[in-house]
């Protein structure tokens, strides 16, 4: 049995962070195009059903747009014997049930927050829909205790491992303990569905809706063969964003940054072609790395590129630069600076320690940095920066910020 599982679509929403040259194409780069491609894939792959994991429609105001788009897709799928099954999320808690009433061919599971099981040709799918915009209790608390037709797939819109969430908080342990053979989750836009024997995770947004949604996007092909369940992402999003590091150490002059960015974009397109994941438009979020003597001029060149909002075409993909941040260090003679009895010397000695082999002094320095960075995670705005920080990550950040601080100290001497 084959199924196509689709994560958050948000029909009606227009993707943001597009340059002026692509603003007119926002609709064609949005979720409606992604939905049509999902339909085409479902028909081509001859799946039994398409499963929608909530937030199918963005807002109440998108009722008519959602009706038109869903109706056309569902009718096309039904002509090929493919059913459409969905659960409601926090965004479409009101509008999706109304759409299901208007579109009887759309099977809405778990209406009103009651778990509901639907039989398939080789197993079943069990789902739960948001009854209200805010749900502070775990839907797993009311998971049915009865025997379910196996293999059984769970379809749920929820917030995993966020105990204080108002969007159906669930614990990973609860998902793993439930008597289902896979969990297909909606809500978080970053896909992480994993597990060869028992897939559990987020399907992710079907297409990038904002620049922070980096990486491959698209539906997942779920193949059920007896007790075996396999999940494979199909990267068909019309819009995608990639984060990449660009080493500018060998750049002869800051004016050559244009060419370096172009070359990096071409390499990224080639990599996506190799992975069968080329979108119609690709936004680059670039971090400049390495060492360069003209950091200020390099920063000016980066700002000038962003101001121009360049778009270039490569292998049919429209590539644009969404962001350039600088993590470039000035070339410094750390050995000479470390001999100086001043703050610059202290900082240089720490940087040499961090760049050197593992030792007790280095471990103490990195451990102190981790503690301070993770303590900053108590501030809501800094949580994405702190996160789960490894020792290697902490050392890298220390080196990067240390070089920047040392360059500022030396600049003040002049």
Chunked into runs of 10 residues, the chain (414 residues) has average pLDDT values of 98 94 95 98 98 94 91 96 97 94 95 97 96 97 89 97 96 96 97 89 97 97 93 97 95 94 98 97 96 90 96 98 90 89 92 89 86 61 49 81 81 68
Q: Are 167 and 135 in contact (CB under 8 A)?
A: yes
For position 384, what pLDDT does the model report?
A: 42
For position 388, what pLDDT does the model report?
A: 57
For position 382, what pLDDT does the model report?
A: 38
For position 99, what pLDDT does the model report?
A: 95
pTM, to two decimals: 0.82
Can you tell me the distance from the alpha carbon of 343 to that of 137, in angstroms, rounded to the nearest whole number? 53
For position 394, what pLDDT does the model report?
A: 80
Residue that has been written with the tokens 């060492």 in this structure: 291
For position 401, what pLDDT does the model report?
A: 82
For position 381, what pLDDT does the model report?
A: 39
For position 400, what pLDDT does the model report?
A: 79
């Amino acid at each position: 049995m084959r199924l196509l599982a689709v994560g958050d679509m948000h029909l009606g929403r227009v993707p943001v962070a597009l340059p002026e040259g692509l603003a007119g194409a926002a609709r064609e780069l949005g979720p409606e195009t992604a939905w049509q491609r999902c339909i085409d894939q479902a028909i081509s792959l001859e799946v039994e059903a398409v499963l929608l994991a909530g937030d199918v429609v963005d807002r109440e105001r998108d009722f008519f747009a959602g009706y038109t788009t869903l109706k056309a897709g569902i009718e096309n799928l039904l002509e090929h014997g493919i059913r459409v099954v969905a659960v409601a999320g926090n965004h479409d808690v009101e509008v999706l049930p109304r759409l299901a009433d208007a579109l009887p061919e759309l099977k809405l599971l778990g209406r009103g927050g009651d778990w509901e099981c639907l039989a398939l040709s080789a197993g079943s799918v069990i789902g739960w829909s948001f009854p209200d915009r805010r749900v502070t209790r775990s839907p797993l608390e009311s998971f049915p205790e009865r025997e379910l037709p196996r293999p059984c797939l769970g379809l749920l819109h929820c917030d995993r491992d966020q105990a204080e969430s108002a969007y159906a908080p669930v614990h990973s342990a609860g998902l793993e303990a439930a008597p289902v053979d896979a969990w297909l989750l909606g809500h978080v836009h970053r896909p992480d569905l994993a597990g060869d024997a028992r897939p559990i995770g987020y399907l992710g947004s079907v297409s990038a809706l904002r620049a922070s949604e980096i990486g491959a996007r698209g539906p997942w092909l779920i193949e059920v063969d007896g007790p075996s369940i396999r999940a494979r992402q199909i990267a068909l999003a019309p819009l995608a964003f990639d984060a990449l590091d660009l080493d500018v150490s060998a750049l002869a002059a800051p004016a050559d940054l244009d060419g370096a960015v172009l070359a990096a974009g071409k390499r990224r397109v080639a990599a996506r072609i190799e992975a069968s994941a080329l979108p119609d438009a690709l936004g680059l979020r670039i971090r400049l790395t390495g060492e360069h003597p003209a950091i200020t001029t390099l920063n000016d060149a980066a700002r000038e590129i962003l101001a121009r909002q360049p778009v270039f075409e490569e292998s049919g993909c429209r590539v644009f630069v969404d962001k350039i941040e600088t993590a470039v260090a000035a070339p410094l003679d750390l050995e000479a600076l470390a001999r100086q009895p001043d703050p610059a010397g202290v900082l240089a000695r720490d940087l040499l320690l961090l760049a050197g082999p593992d030792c007790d002094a280095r471990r103490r320095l990195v451990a102190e940095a981790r503690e301070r960075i993770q303590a900053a995670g108590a501030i809501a705005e800094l949580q994405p920066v702190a996160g789960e920080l490894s020792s290697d990550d902490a050392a890298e950040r220390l080196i990067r910020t240390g070089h920047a601080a040392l360059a500022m100290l030396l600049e003040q001497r002049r």
